[in-house]
Amino acid sequence: MNNGSVDRKMTQTSTNSGVLTRRIDLGRSSDIPLDDFDRIPSKIVVNKLNFFYGNHQVLHDNDIEIKQNRVTAIIGPSGCGKSTHIRVFNRIYELYRDQKADGSVLIDGENILSPSTDLLKLRKKVGMIFQKPTTFPMSIFENVAYGLKLHYKISKGEISDRVETALKSAALWDEVKNQMNKSGLALSGGQKQRLCIARAIATEPEVILMDEPCSALDPGATSKIEELIMILRNKYTIALVTHNMQQAARVSDYTAFFYKGEIVEFDRTKQLFTKPSMKQTEDYITGKFG
Ligand SMILES: Nc1ncnc2c1ncn2[C@@H]1O[C@H](COP(=O)(O)OP(=O)(O)OP(=O)(O)O)[C@@H](O)[C@H]1O
Ligand SMILES: [Mg+2]
């Protein structure tokens, strides 16, 4: 991590593309400046992570620290391994045969690649939002209650309360509160994505993985999700895969640039986008390839 100061209290940050980025004034004493990297608790520590589809190795010795209550963006050209990398964090890849990870991935200090990991607990702790909203063919209410019923034995009243809280946190409540029995499939794309975020946060995860959550959305819906990400980061640790570099610059604290399965550069987002240290990063962010 390079030196340099990033003042978390500032309200605007400029990037090399001239985009002005809004920053939320968190005003929290626990809000350690981003350049104090080592003092910020790491939620996930990845060491020498390799990943194989059958005999085909697609991740090579990935090392990264995902900081708690921060947004880490993962960027890089198509096929460089972004989705593969974050899918390791909740071992979702194991639903498929022939996919294998080695190395270590510590979440809160425990190696989740260990065979003794309780996968149900892990997946409750590490929620995931996909590129295409995975709305279930059921009511808005049931879409959010689904995970709650899977993970908790709680009363109907408590389920209702938690559904409401999750929809409020996902900034969707006001739009759906009078139509909770309507099919989730009838919502717009942006509303569906916020419904999926509500479902993910209803079970109180600690980490939220987002794999191109806005790529199917229009600019208005995208900016709603981006605002939401900046609020959610106060409570959750977020890893965000995005092809949209302005989005990474707007919402993330740290950025990792992946290329051909390797992490070429990882730094504070502002640093990486304004003064990248690697030529490959510079070529990518200036649009020379990818
Ligand atoms: N199910 C699979 N079986 C075999 N190879 C795969 C599979 N999924 C991905 N790969 C390969 O792994 C590599 C990394 O793919 P991955 O989907 O992680 O890339 P990505 O960076 O997320 O790309 P994109 O930006 O297009 O989503 C690619 O070479 C891809 O072809
Ligand atoms: Mg992908």
Where residue 151 falls among pLDDT bands split at 50, 70, 90?
Answer: confident
What phi, psi does 265 have (nearest 5°)? -155, 140
How many C-beta atoms lie closer than 10 Å to residue 130's C-beta? 15
Is residue 17 predicted with pLDDT exceeding 90?
A: no
- Separation of CA 59 and ligand 1 centre (Å): 10
* Average pLDDT value for residue range 254-283: 97
Q: Is 4 inside a domain boundary?
A: no
Q: Which of 3-7, 142-146, 261-265, 269-273 has the lowest mean pLDDT?
A: 3-7
Q: Is the per-residue pLDDT at 45 higher than 60?
A: yes
Out of 159-168, 181-190, 215-224, pick the least confident. Answer: 215-224
Report the pocket of ligand 1 as residue ranges, CB < 6 Å: 53, 56, 58, 76, 78-84
In a domain, 5, yes or no: no
pTM: 0.88
Residue 290, in any domain of the structure: no
Angle between helices 189-202 and 219-232 (to 10 degrees): 20
Hey, which of 51, 53, 100 would you mutate to test ligand 1's pocket, going by the most ligand atoms within 8 Å of its Cβ? 53
Mean pLDDT of 244-264: 97
16 assigned to some structural domain: no
Q: What is the pLDDT of residues 74-121, one digit of tens each?
A: 999 999 999 999 999 999 999 888 999 999 999 999 999 999 999 999
Residue numbers of the domain that contains 280: 38-285
Instruction: Return the pLDDT at 56.
Output: 98
Is residue 19 a part of any domain in this protein? no
Residue 79 lies in a domain: yes
Distance of CA 58 from the midpoint of ligand 1 (Å): 8
Residues linked to residue 49 through DSSP beta bridges, in sequence order: 62
258 within a domain of the structure (yes/no): yes
Closest ligand 1 atom to residue 243 Cα is 25
Per-residue tokens: 39: 């003092």
DSSP for the chain reads -------TT-SEEE-TT--EEE------TT---TT-GGGSPEEEEEEEEEEEETTEEEEEEEEEEEETTSEEEEE-STTSSHHHHHHTTTTGGGGSTTEEEEEEEEETTEETTSTT--HHHHHHHEEEE-SS----SSBHHHHHHHHHHHH----HHHHHHHHHHHHHHTT-HHHHTT-TTSBGGGS-HHHHHHHHHHHHHHT--SEEEEESTTTTS-HHHHHHHHHHHHHHTTTSEEEEE-S-HHHHHHH-SEEEEEETTEEEEEEEHHHHHHS-SSHHHHHHHTTS--
135 CA distance to ligand 2 middle (Å) = 19
CB atoms within 10 A of CB 152: 15
Q: Which of 50, 16, 5, 19 is nearest to 251 (CA)?
A: 19
Q: What's 190's domain CATH number?
A: 3.40.50.300
Asked, for residue 24, whether it belongs to a domain, the answer is: no
Output the pLDDT for position 25.
41
pLDDT at 146: 94
Which residue owns the Cα nearest ligand 1 atom 31? Answer: 79
Q: Nearest to residue 77, comparing CAs of 217, 227, 241?
A: 241
164-211 pLDDT tens trace = 999 999 999 999 999 999 999 999 999 999 999 999 999 999 999 999
| pLDDT above 60 for 14 | no
> Above pLDDT 90, what percent of the chain?
82
Q: How many domains does the chain have?
A: 1
Ligand 1: atom nearest CA of 81 is 18
What is the torsional sign of CA 215, 217, 223, 224?
negative
Contacts 24+ apart (CB under 8 A), 159-164: 162/202, 163/198, 163/202
User: How far, in Å, is the centroid of ligand 1 from the Cα of 93?
Assistant: 12
